[in-house]
Chain A
């Protein structure tokens, strides 16, 4: 992996590096030339007035919006490059939405299990089949050409698919049930999202992201659509994840929460990061007049 200044990303501990990120919708320039580095384990809060591009910035990090310029280096790979398979990287970047976006047609348990089940089954069938074919070829001291390999692996996949499927399902289900237990919603496993409260939905959306073992979770105003009495339970869960060392980028209007949890706060305005610093610096002693103005309105 190629990192920054010739060092590997392991050494610098950088998880995401954004270089010169630009995003425009038609003639509307929403983001202009954003540079920011997010290290492993860091908690970054993003604040700013409505329409300043916070969501757009967050959604560019996993290319839910395709950047119109610049680079998003995730573990050294440039996600903004269309040739990169974005799906593989998204598996490692959880995302939590303001409107929860639980799958309406699936039960709670199915919501959590679906993606890992599909993706891991596919991957493991492919890998198991290949390993089997290679092992057998080695035992016979043969070396297959590319076509023979392709054919034999294809046949082998059909043979191993049932067994691998069951193994993966066991494992994924156990993990999903553990996650549900963790948030105290085990008895909702077979309920449909329509029957749950907002707080329950959002906590399930968070563990749905966790089920993929992400390296970072992107939160877009996770509590803004909630009734006040449910904000606490969701923030508690996010706080727990923070304490466990999860890397997070959180767009939020909860200034108190940002102050408490974040290692660094970004204030966005006019298509860029107008000011950044530790919560003490940014909330206690803002330098940019726009930051002062904004904070005086929301605090």
Chain B
């Protein structure tokens, strides 16, 4: 790594305001991961609750079958393919005007919803069935009992796994440049492209992801400890 590599990077990153592109890319990356996760938690919880519903009525059976198809599709195809289909197939087919970050958020949300539904189902099954029974026995409807009593306890149990899912999501966002989103990966690549010197930009890129991931791990640990304390006093 000669002195010139540093100079090239420095020139592009600081003097030519490359850091602004990188910061904007970072924002896009976080936006996609955070909103994707939130949508994913919502969809995942919905699917999980449908999947654990008693099945002797017709509606839960139909809904459950729909969920199976949904989860099957999103777990059975690569993320990139889903992005490409969203951007190049669905959008033109319905004449929708959406910017590429929005499309990425939606696709990541739908995708992580499929994975989180499985995590959430495990979490719900890990909650003592007596909890649901006690809620039903006082006359609360099924969905209220689930959302007020069972799901909060399930979320607490799966918090570490959800943290992992978020980390996976952040790393997976590095493919969004396929649909013309400028995320951190794309931003650093542009810096490299501008003078055909990639060593420092790509090492910086790796460092950026590493810092993000470590930060999130810390945050999840902190939340876990908070919730555990809640239970004691």
Instruction: Give A residues with C-beta under 8 Å from B.
Output: 62, 64, 87-91, 93-95, 97, 99, 101-106, 114-115, 118-119, 191-192, 194-195, 205, 208-209, 212
Contact = CB atoms under 8 A, between A and B. Distances in A.
A105 B152 CA distance: 7
A104 B139 contact: no
A64 B133 contact: yes
Contact of B134 (A62, A93, A103, A195): A103
Interface residues of B, number: 22
Given A191-B233, A194-B232, A195-B232, A103 B138 contact: no
14 contacts: A64-B133, A87-B141, A89-B139, A90-B136, A94-B137, A94-B138, A97-B130, A104-B131, A104-B231, A105-B156, A114-B140, A114-B148, A118-B140, A212-B139
A88 B137 contact: no
Interface of B: 128, 130-131, 133-141, 144, 148-149, 152-153, 156, 230-233
Nearest to A99: B130
Contacts of B152: 105
B149 A105 contact: yes
Given A90-B139, A91-B139, A105-B152, A192 B133 contact: no
A82 to B, nearest CB: 9
Given A91-B138, A115-B139, A194-B232, A97 B133 contact: yes
B139 A192 contact: no
B140 A101 contact: no
A102 B144 CA distance: 16
Nearest to A115: B138
Contacts of B156: 105
B148 to A, nearest CB: 7
B138 A90 contact: yes
Contacts of B232: 192, 194-195
A102 B139 contact: no
Nearest to A62: B137
B200 to A, nearest CB: 49
B13 to A, nearest CB: 48
Given A114-B148, A115-B140, A208-B138, A192 B231 contact: yes
Contacts of A89: 139
Contact of A101 (B133, B144, B233): B133
Contacts of B149: 103, 105-106
Contacts of A91: 138-139
